[in-house]
Each structure stands twice: as structure tokens, then as C-alpha cells.
């Protein structure tokens, strides 16, 4: 029994460090995926390609950061214990920002640091636009989903509704369209 | 102003876990809450938290939440914000993973998901607008150069996000901001 517990702990730590290796060396949304695949699918066979893809799809459909896919990966690899290892691997790198803050906070109003932060925020806005293009190709499949996207954008820009309500409203409109038999949504739903 | 830890937990649990559209979209929503509405942090602190979160490895949103928590209540605030921003969505992810095979075959779920994903595109575009607008007002030329420049760089050269942000950081350091903000 003690040996089984020791193996559990070892598996937990192995999973944590493998996932941490992936999260701590990536700086963008799903940039850690190649490392996760190489370590857990190719080298150690802890999960399959299908499970990795499923984990990515799940995080597209659930709220929260995209990086939460490592929790799903951990769950596929080792149940609840694996999910906890995934959660730890996801949250550990976030604490590094405190070290950066301690260095930069006192210099935040310096024109060069301001210029640097301003440029990083503006470049981030550009990256968000760029990353919305493939998402749009995937999500906007016809006039109904295009109208939902435009309507949602108008509501968000006018700040009339909170994001959560915009999402609920969009999902409801889409669901009603599916129930009414609108071809575009029916096809997306596979009804 | 001292912010209660329960308030920090409530704000981050609500807004960091209930927003689709990725981390940047969530940060735009959090900006409204912690800066515009509640004034827990200043403009300068937001820029610092956001800019550095993009340069921190791992999940940018969690680094951002940790930074805001740290500005609000130091280490305790950082830990509470990190836990509140990561535990509920992780539980949702575990439940969703467990039931994924069942949901995947449910046509009603897929029908609703089609609309939610379309709205996620709008959320992304709104996010870019919310992030760029304050700086576009303050530094129009920089905005006109950096935003399209970043889009072009990532689209045509397939540079990674961190490479684009690195270029922006170097460019920004070499090109100091004109006016110092005090708010």
C-alpha cells in the first residue's frame, strides 16, 4: 500500500513537472501544446492525441483562460490527482510576475518604461485582432452567425450588456435558430 | 483604500471564470471592474500589470490577476486573486472533461455553442478596442504604427506572440512616452 502511494506521489510529481516545463517555457495562448504533446503523448504515452485534442476543444467551450487545457490534460492522464497537478502547473508561473513588478513598479512612470508598456499593450491589441481571424473563420459559418457576431460587437461597444449576458444571448439566439431548423445552425449542431 | 480579500475573491471568481473569448477578453472585462468602476488600481498600475503579464511565461490572465491582487493587498491579495481566478474554471474544466463525450453528441449544446463561438469573435475585437483606445488617444502615432505593425508581423512573418511583444518592448523603450501619467 505504501508502495502504491509512493508511485502515486511519483506520478503526480512527474506530471506536475512535465506540465510545468510546458507552461513555464511558453508565452502565448497555446504555445505549450507542442511540449505537452511531445512529453505526454509521444514519449510517455500518458494520454492520446485524441485526448489532447479533446482537452483543447473543451477549453474553447468553457469559460476561463485557454491555458486551463492543462487541467483537462492532467485529468485525462491521471484523474482528479492529475487535474490538480495540471492546476499547479498552470498557476505556478503566474507568481513570477511579482518579481517583475518589484523591479518595474518603482520605474513605471519613467518615460522609457511607459513607452515600453504602451507599445506592448498596443502590440497586444494587434495580436488579439490577428488571433480573432482564424477564430472568425471557424465560428462564422453563414449569415446567422455573422449577424450574431456583429450584434454582439455592437452591444459590447455600446457597453449596454456585460460579456456574460452577451454570450448567453448569443447562445440563446443560436439555440432558437437550431430549434427552428435554420440550416446554417442545424449543420453546425449536427442535428 | 483597503480592499477586503473577500471582495478580491468575489471579483476575480466572477469575471476571470465566467468570460469566454480568451484571456485578453477577460482582462478587458476586469479592467472595467477594477480600474474604471472600483478604482482599485490606477491606469499606470493596469498598464504595468497587463504589459508584464504578457511577458510572464504561462497563462497571461493568471499573471495579470496575480499582479492586480498584489497591487491591491500585496502577497495575500496576489494569492487570493490567483486562487479565485483559477480554481472555479479548473473545476468547470474537470467537469466538462468528464462529461465531454456526452455533451459532444448533444445537438442542443452544439446549437448553443455555435452562437457563443460567434460572440467570442466579437469579444476578441471589442477587447482589442478596449486595450488600444486609451493609448490611441494619448499616443496616436505610436498606436497607428504598433497595432497594424503587430498584425502584419504575426500574419506575414508568422512570428510568435512573444517575438512580436519583444520587438514592441524594444521599440517602446527606444521611443519614450511623451507625457508622464500620474493618475
Average pLDDT over residues A79-106: 91
Nearest to A148 among B48, B94, B118 (CB): B118
The domain locations on chain B are 5-106
A189 CB contacts (<8 Å, ≥6 apart)? A178, B107, B108, B110, B111, B113, B114
Cα–Cα separations (whole angstroms), residue B61 to A32, B1, B26, B49, B96: 15, 24, 8, 10, 21
Residues A114, B176 contacting (CB under 8 angstroms) = yes
* Gap between the Cα atoms of B41 and B174, Å rounded: 27
pLDDT band for B87, please (50, 70, 90 cuts): very high
- Give this complex's ipTM: 0.72
Other CB atoms within 10 Å distance of the CB of residue B91: 15
CB contacts of B164 in chain A (<8 Å) are 123, 126-127
Average pLDDT over residues A131-142: 83
Asked if B58 has any chain A CB less than 8 Å from its own CB, the reply is yes
Q: Which residue has the higher pLDDT, B122 or A147?
A: A147
Q: Which residue of B has its CA nearest to A139?
A: B118
To the nearest whole Å, the CA of B106 is away from the closest chain A CA by 8
Highest mean pLDDT among A50-64, A121-135, B60-74: B60-74
Nearest to A119 among B26, B97, B146 (CB): B146
* Gap between the Cα atoms of B91 and B37, Å rounded: 28
In this model, does residue B46 exceed pLDDT 60?
A: yes
The mean predicted confidence, pLDDT, of chain A is 85
Q: Which residue of A has its CA nearest to B135?
A: A118
In tens, the pLDDT along B127-150 reads 788 878 888 888 889 999 999 999
To the nearest whole Å, the CA of B6 is away from the closest chain A CA by 20
Cα-Cα-Cα-Cα dihedral sign, residues A134, A136, A139, A142:
negative
Residue with cell 511540449: A35
Strand extents, DSSP E, chain B? none
Nearest to A135 among B29, B64, B121 (CB): B121
Tell me the longest C-alpha to C-alpha distance in chain B: 56
In this model, does residue B101 exceed pLDDT 70?
A: no
* Gap between the Cα atoms of B34 and B176, Å rounded: 27
Asked if A71 has any chain B CB less than 8 Å from its own CB, the reply is yes
In tens, the pLDDT along B102-117 reads 776 788 888 888 888 8
Of A19-33, A65-79, B91-105, B107-121, which range is least confident? A19-33
Cα–Cα separations (whole angstroms), residue A120 to B37, B51, B60, B163: 24, 6, 13, 11
To the nearest whole Å, the CA of A1 is away from the closest chain B CA by 27
Per-residue confidence (pLDDT) for residue B20, from 0 to 100: 61
Asked if B167 has any chain A CB less than 8 Å from its own CB, the reply is yes
In this model, does residue B181 exceed pLDDT 50?
A: no
Average pLDDT over residues A32-59: 84
What percentage of residues in chain A have a pLDDT greater than 90?
A: 35
A80 in helix, strand or coil? Answer: helix
Q: Helix, strand, coil: what percent of chain B each, to 5?
A: 80, 0, 20
Per-residue confidence (pLDDT) for residue A27, from 0 to 100: 62
Of A144-148, B27-31, B51-55, B179-183, which range is least confident? B179-183
B58 to A67: CB separation less than 8 angstroms, yes or no: yes
* Gap between the Cα atoms of B33 and A40, Å rounded: 39
pTM: 0.71
B50 HSE (CA, 13 A, CB side): 33
Per-residue confidence (pLDDT) for residue A89, from 0 to 100: 96
pLDDT band for A36, please (50, 70, 90 cuts): confident
Nearest to A139 among B120, B128, B155 (CB): B120
Amino acid at each position: 500500500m505504501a508502495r502504491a502511494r509512493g508511485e502515486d506521489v511519483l506520478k503526480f510529481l512527474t506530471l506536475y513537472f512535465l506540465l510545468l516545463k510546458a507552461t513555464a517555457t511558453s508565452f502565448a495562448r497555446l504555445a505549450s501544446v507542442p511540449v505537452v504533446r511531445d512529453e505526454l503523448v509521444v514519449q510517455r504515452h500518458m494520454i492520446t492525441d485524441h485526448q489532447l485534442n479533446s482537452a483543447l476543444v473543451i477549453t474553447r467551450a468553457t469559460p476561463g483562460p485557454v491555458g486551463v487545457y492543462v487541467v483537462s490534460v492532467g485529468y485525462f492522464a491521471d484523474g482528479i490527482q492529475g487535474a490538480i497537478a495540471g492546476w499547479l502547473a498552470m498557476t505556478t508561473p503566474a507568481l513570477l510576475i511579482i518579481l517583475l513588478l518589484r523591479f518595474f513598479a518603482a520605474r513605471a512612470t519613467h518615460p522609457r518604461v511607459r513607452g515600453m508598456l504602451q507599445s506592448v499593450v498596443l502590440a497586444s491589441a494587434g495580436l488579439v485582432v490577428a488571433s480573432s481571424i482564424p477564430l472568425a473563420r471557424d465560428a462564422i459559418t453563414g449569415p446567422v452567425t455573422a449577424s450574431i457576431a456583429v450584434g454582439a460587437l455592437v452591444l459590447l461597444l455600446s457597453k449596454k450588456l456585460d460579456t456574460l449576458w452577451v454570450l448567453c444571448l448569443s447562445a440563446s439566439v443560436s439555440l432558437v435558430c437550431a430549434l427552428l431548423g435554420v440550416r446554417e445552425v442545424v449543420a453546425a449542431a449536427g442535428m | 483604500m483597503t480592499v477586503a480579500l473577500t471582495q478580491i475573491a468575489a471579483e476575480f471568481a466572477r469575471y476571470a471564470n465566467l468570460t469566454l473569448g480568451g484571456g485578453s477578453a477577460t482582462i478587458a472585462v476586469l479592467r472595467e471592474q477594477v480600474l474604471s468602476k472600483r478604482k482599485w488600481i490606477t491606469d499606470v498600475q493596469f498598464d504595468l500589470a497587463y504589459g508584464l503579464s504578457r511577458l510572464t511565461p504561462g497563462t497571461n490572465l493568471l499573471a495579470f490577476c496575480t499582479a492586480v491582487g498584489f497591487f491591491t493587498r500585496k502577497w495575500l491579495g496576489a494569492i487570493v486573486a490567483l486562487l479565485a481566478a483559477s480554481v472555479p474554471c479548473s473545476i468547470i474544466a474537470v467537469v466538462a472533461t468528464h462529461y465531454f463525450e456526452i455533451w459532444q453528441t448533444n445537438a442542443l449544446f452544439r446549437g448553443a455553442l455555435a452562437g457563443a463561438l460567434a460572440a467570442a469573435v466579437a469579444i476578441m475585437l471589442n477587447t482589442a478596442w478596449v486595450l488600444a483606445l486609451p493609448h490611441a488617444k494619448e499616443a496616436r502615432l505610436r498606436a497607428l504604427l504598433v497595432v497594424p505593425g503587430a498584425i502584419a508581423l504575426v500574419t506575414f512573418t508568422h512570428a510568435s506572440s512573444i517575438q512580436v511583444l519583444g520587438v514592441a518592448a524594444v521599440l517602446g523603450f527606444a521611443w519614450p512616452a511623451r507625457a508622464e501619467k500620474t493618475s
